[in-house]
Structure 1
Amino acid sequence: MRVGNPGIDARRLVTIGKVTRVHGARGEVKVRSLSDVPGRFETLERVLVADRQGALRELAVRASRRTVGDYLLAFDGIATPEAAASLVGCWLLIAAEQSAPLPDGRYFERDLLSMAVRTEDGALVGELTEILPTGANAVFVVRGATGKEHLIPATREAVRAVDVPARLMTIRRIAGLLDDDDA
């Protein structure tokens, strides 16, 4: 994401919703929540809005109410349907410090991406470049030094340790996951 505001680190932001459409004649918008935190929008005072180009701007939340399956939000300075239309398709974000802590063994994607991946014996496999959602569990795409990609299941059997401060993931060698010359 391109950050239009100097001093904002996009990696320290959490996406909590997406504006889906304009609602009514007073500039309200309908928001699909992407947050696991109950009542997230009822207490929200300020939010960062990422437009389609990735530029960020901060808006003050004037009002928020729950509807069936979504939320209706009103922002200071957005008082007409035309002004609200500029927000449709935009993502709503908050600073990571405002997000609820995760249970042990759970991680934000932003904390895993670009992490070094090593085997239990210390051999470097590569860098975690992408997380693919699948039906049973996510799959980590790890790119090696030669550009070869390895698909590592996000399971306790395959992933032995994650050290977010050290930016290091340790994986177990499982037959078929890595070639003998990969790590």
Structure 2
Amino acid sequence: MKHNDFITIGVIIAPHGVRGDLRIMPQTDFPDRFMHMDVCYIDGKEYHITSARFHKQFVLATFKEIPDRNAAELMAKKEIQVRREDLVELPEGRYYIFDMIGLEVHDTNGNVLGTLTDVLQPGANDVYVVSQDGEPDQLFAAIEDVVLDIDMDKRIMVVNPPEWV
């Protein structure tokens, strides 16, 4: 499998307890998935989750292949990943941020404004960061009035910039 076939859904913070449990910081909008997941990947190797539970903002998980605290200590700072085909299916018109990065952004007149380089999540709605060489970044609110179309097949986003942009 290629590296980009794996998607990070959590980061191992540290061992938890003496039996080899791992404390994981979820990096997903769907942290409940850890509760019913069987398989994940760490450094490209398959691991099997035997149990998981929430503890504060963390997930505490036990893995078949990690029998004790000594083995768990070697896992600190590693990423928990899943295969792309095991991602949670999103509703129509919703996309994963990592799939959107790199979209070419056009205005309603067909002018290329740049490339989507980041998605900020400050609160009420996402904000798309559009970059173009030699120009300051442009920020667009991810709302229906501004983002008119996203075509993932053509890798194009069409926006209606506010008048002050």
Say yes or no: TM over 0.5: yes
On the 8 A contact 1:59/1:75 being kept in 2, the answer is no
Tell whether 2:45 aligns with 1:58. yes
Tell me the SS of whatever aligns to 1:42: helix
Tell whether 2:128 aligns with 1:135. no
State the 4+ residue runs in structure 1 displaced beyond 6 angstroms: none
Q: Out of 11, 16, 20, which is 1:27 matched to? A: 20
Matched residue, 1:3: none
Deviations 1:11-33 (A, max 9, x none): x4333222232122221112233
RMSD, aligned CA = 2.1
Tell me the SS of whatever aligns to 1:162: strand
Tell whether 2:106 aligns with 1:112. no
On the 8 A contact 1:46/1:58 being kept in 2, the answer is no
Tell whether 2:8 aligns with 1:15. yes
Tell me the SS of whatever aligns to 2:99: helix
* 1:97 shift after superposition: 1.0
User: Structure 1 residues 89, 147: closer, same or farther in 2, change over 3 A?
Assistant: same
Deviations 1:52-74 (A, max 9, x none): xxxx3323214113244443322
**Identical aligned pairs, as a percentage?**
26
Question: After the TM superposition, which residues 30-179 of structure 1 pair with which residues of structure 2 at under 5 Å, given as runs?
Answer: 30-37=23-30, 39-49=32-42, 56-69=43-56, 70-177=58-165
Tell me the SS of whatever aligns to 1:110: helix
Distance in 2 of aligned mates of 1:66 and 1:107: 27
Q: For structure 1, which runs of at least 5 residues remain unmatched after alignment?
A: 1-6, 50-55, 178-183
**Number of residues paired by the alignment?**
164
TM-score, scaled relative to structure 1 = 0.78
* 1:39 shift after superposition: 4.4
TM-score, scaled relative to structure 2 = 0.85
